[in-house]
Amino acid sequence: MGFWQALGKMAQGKPVFETPTEPNTQDSTNQTAPPVSQDPNKTPVDGNGRKIIPAIRIEHCKTYRNGPRIDVRAWVTNASDAEIEIEKIEVMGDNVDVDRRLRPQQSHEVVLYKGPAPTNDYEHKANVHYKLVSSGDYFRADYRIEYNQESDGTYSVETLHPENYGVKDV
């Protein structure tokens, strides 16, 4: 369509760009998406071709005191339909290598932190680094640490809350 034809349609109050109604005309809205193949070495995708990001949960967080030191443990659950491997967990500036595979819906208790009891509640970030076993894609789930102040002035970890923005594909 030329410029003058478009201008003429605008002057008449008609739509300038119309969707063709002929059955043989190719239209992107009439095309069906090609079937998605599920190659075991590729990241799984949904029916629309969007990448599926496996989800995890951290539950039943407990802090165990041993004098001036604490151990923080929690259950990590694979909440997805694919096998994942928990690589490492960062809590209160400390990295713990986990290297634990979890099948879909499987849980495992892990040590999140082992060290001196914190004397402040400034460190609020925790990260879980994991990968999708089938494709090797890496992900990071971010959490916010909630503390309890103890009677001796130190802090214990109460729970970890997932951040609102979800899991990062790294």
Share of the chain above pLDDT 90, in %: 54
In the structure encoding, which two tokens stand for residue 133, read together? 């076993």
64-112 residue pLDDT tens: 999 899 999 999 999 998 999 999 999 988 899 999 999 999 999 999 9
Residue-level pLDDT at 40: 52
pLDDT bin (cut points 50, 70, 90) of residue 17 is low
Q: Which residues of 118-134 are buried (b: 16+ CB within 10 A; e: fewer)?
A: beeeeeeebebbbbbbb
Q: What is the DSSP string of 13-61?
A: T--SS-----TTS--TTTSPPPPPP--TTS--B-TTSPBP---EEEEEE
Q: Is the pTM above the cut of 0.75?
A: no
Residue-level pLDDT at 8: 75
Instruction: Check pLDDT > 80 for residue 41.
Output: no
Higher pLDDT, 40 or 148: 148
Residue-level pLDDT at 18: 62
Higher pLDDT, 8 or 86: 86
Report the candidate in 50, 54, 56, 106 with the shortest Cα–Cα distance to residue 82.
54
